[in-house]
Structure 1
Amino acid sequence: MPLPGKDLTASNGLLVLVATPIGNLADISARALDTLRNANSILCEDTRVTSKLLRHYGITNTLLTLHDHNEEERLSFLLTELKKGKIFALISDAGTPVFSDPGYRLVRAALQNDIKVTALPGPNAAITALVLSGFPPAPFMFLGFPPRGEARKSHFVMLKAAEQTGLKATLSWYESPRRLVGTLETLAEVFGPDREASVGRELTKLYEEVRRGPLSTLISHFKETDPRGEITLLLAPAAEDDNKEQDLEPLLLKTLKTHSLKDAVTLIAGSTNLPRKFVYKKALALSQKNTTKAE
């Protein structure tokens, strides 16, 4: 059966983004299966993973790899084939393609070349974890995988600064099991050990688990029980009584009376766990404001 509203033998090409199961092979739509059967080729991250899905549904089709390491070099060939009228189904190993997976560069190039792009919606680990977390679903910010090493804390500090200037959203990341505890510890350092979080593990699979609670509780649990499988991590928005920004101005005014600007910033940034640049900007504005009044 062809794609609704689209003849698979038409002369103009088409790129179809097809969502595939994130664990349970039954979680795939009839439209997705029809597309995987009838497309000229399937673009996938790992042929071994995709072959398992296709065998399960008795589908035979040509597989072409498209992943982070070869996407750029394959663009020219794929665009040429699409312009010839080819129909490509783009999938990732699991979930919705392009969403923290390869395919963005191809989609952008196809659109720039007036090639039609459409999507068949379906499973997505971040959305599944969000609706299971019990946290506010909107606004919601997905941030991919946290940076590694020292950049991880800087990443979280920037988000903390954004919260202090008005951001109030549920935050979400994918993370590997071996880095989960370290990431939770850094989150606790930046956002506080009492901040509510949720860890979704093996979603839709036999051993699905969602743990919710303060960061300190989650750290203790996963130190005692090694996390396994695919991980989706969510951080709840700051509580309504988290008013560090409101407290910042009087604290700065008091400290600036007895300390230099530089020393006041150092002291307050350390005591409030707010980003130094953010505190400096506030302190400088207050200092300039007071100077103007004095004149």
Structure 2
Amino acid sequence: MVSKASLPVSSGTLYIVATPIGNLDDLSARAARVLSEVNLIAAEDTRHSGRLLQHLGIDKPMWALHDHNERDRATGLLDRVEKGESVALISDAGTPLISDPGFVLVREARARGIPVSPVPGPCALVAALSAAGLPTDRFLFEGFLPAKAGARAKALQALSRETATLVFYESPRRIQDLVAELATCFGPDRQVVLARELTKAFETFYSGTTGEVLEAIVGDENSGKGEYVVMVAGAAPERTTDALVEADQVLRLLLPELPVKKAVRIAAELTGGARNDLYQRALKLKEQ
């Protein structure tokens, strides 16, 4: 069997090539080969990507393809692909289309029946999640939140009961405001992990409750440098009516015999309920 990595670049194909998010050693051998063999490279910022190509010793024609010109440029690029040229799409860092340009280009390529081939590699959100210590069986990537405080708070409020791990990108200028808003919308005890300067010399992870992480970044003079991946533990699943009835039954049996805290601890072990919720229910039952 011949692996795809050993095949030559195909004519009439659009390649989606992941590039390093910081450490140049993370560029795969296949990605370097594809970039060296295609006829044209479409880049989010040709000056920025030009430095990467220069480092690799690659000299290829480049087209700028970014948010402001993608709709206009996509047609011309794909016309060339249909005539038999091969084109590689890269972004400033990481995997194209993940909070980066390329969606319009790939959608139109698919509509025309043009082969689109991914060349996988670095992706900031995946790299951050793999090292965060938060659940990864389900996660919801929200990209960049709105820049204005009111719209950002509204977006966070809509996500406050989401049980999947939440992932955002954020700039260093707004990171303190975002973490403060997380504490307001999600509560001071929600677990948060921030990843800064991934794969670079000053790679840093901040983890703890929203309050602890806010204190950490406020106290770190370097926290205003580098882009962030923000990961937030999902909300605890809401208890069903049957589960609440079961918890109340257990508490009613335990409370006459035990102090409230001990009764709550045992009830939590038996029912799987959250101690804070059970404690509040126990107080209500005591009042009744």
- Return the TM-score normalized by structure 1: 0.76
In 1, are the aligned partners of 2:193 and 2:232 still within 8 Å (CA)? Answer: yes
Count of aligned residue pairs for this structure pair? 238
- Kindly indicate whether residue 152 of structure 2 is the aligned counterpart of residue 155 of structure 1: no
The residue aligned with 2:256 is none
CA apart distance, 1:236: 0.8
Letter in 1 for 2:155: H
Distance in 2 (CA, whole Å) between partners of 1:3 and 1:34 is 12
Letter in 2 for 1:18: V
In 1, are the aligned partners of 2:9 and 2:34 still within 8 Å (CA)? Answer: no
- Return the TM-score normalized by structure 2: 0.78
* Paired residue secondary structure (2:166): strand
Distance in 1 (CA, whole Å) between partners of 2:9 and 2:185 is 52
CA apart distance, 1:7: 4.8
The residue aligned with 2:88 is 89
* Paired residue secondary structure (2:230): strand
Which deviations, in whole Å up to 9, do the C-alpha atoms of 1:45-101 show, x marking residues without a partner? 111211111111111111111000110111221121111111110000000011110
The residue aligned with 2:193 is 198
Distance in 2 (CA, whole Å) between partners of 1:87 and 1:212 is 44
In 2, are the aligned partners of 1:8 and 1:38 still within 8 Å (CA)? Answer: yes
The residue aligned with 1:135 is 134
In 2, are the aligned partners of 1:3 and 1:31 still within 8 Å (CA)? Answer: no
Distance in 2 (CA, whole Å) between partners of 1:168 and 1:232 is 19
Distance in 2 (CA, whole Å) between partners of 1:48 and 1:83 is 27
In 1, are the aligned partners of 2:206 and 2:216 still within 8 Å (CA)? Answer: no
The residue aligned with 1:237 is 234
The residue aligned with 1:65 is 64
CA apart distance, 1:3: 6.4
CA RMSD of aligned residues (A): 2.1
Q: Pick one of 213, 218, 221 that aligns with 1:218.
A: 213
* Paired residue secondary structure (2:104): helix
- Kindly indicate whether residue 177 of structure 2 is the aligned counterpart of residue 178 of structure 1: no
CA apart distance, 1:201: 0.3
* Paired residue secondary structure (1:86): coil
Distance in 2 (CA, whole Å) between partners of 1:179 and 1:144 is 14
* Paired residue secondary structure (1:144): strand
In 1, are the aligned partners of 2:49 and 2:92 still within 8 Å (CA)? Answer: yes
Q: Which runs of 5+ in 1 are unaligned?
A: 251-295
Distance in 2 (CA, whole Å) between partners of 1:119 and 1:144 is 21
In 1, are the aligned partners of 2:163 and 2:236 still within 8 Å (CA)? Answer: no
Distance in 2 (CA, whole Å) between partners of 1:84 and 1:25 is 33
CA apart distance, 1:26: 0.6
In the TM superposition, structure 1's runs of 4+ consecutive aligned residues that sit over 4 Å from their partners are: 2-7
Q: Which runs of 5+ in 2 are unaligned?
A: 246-288
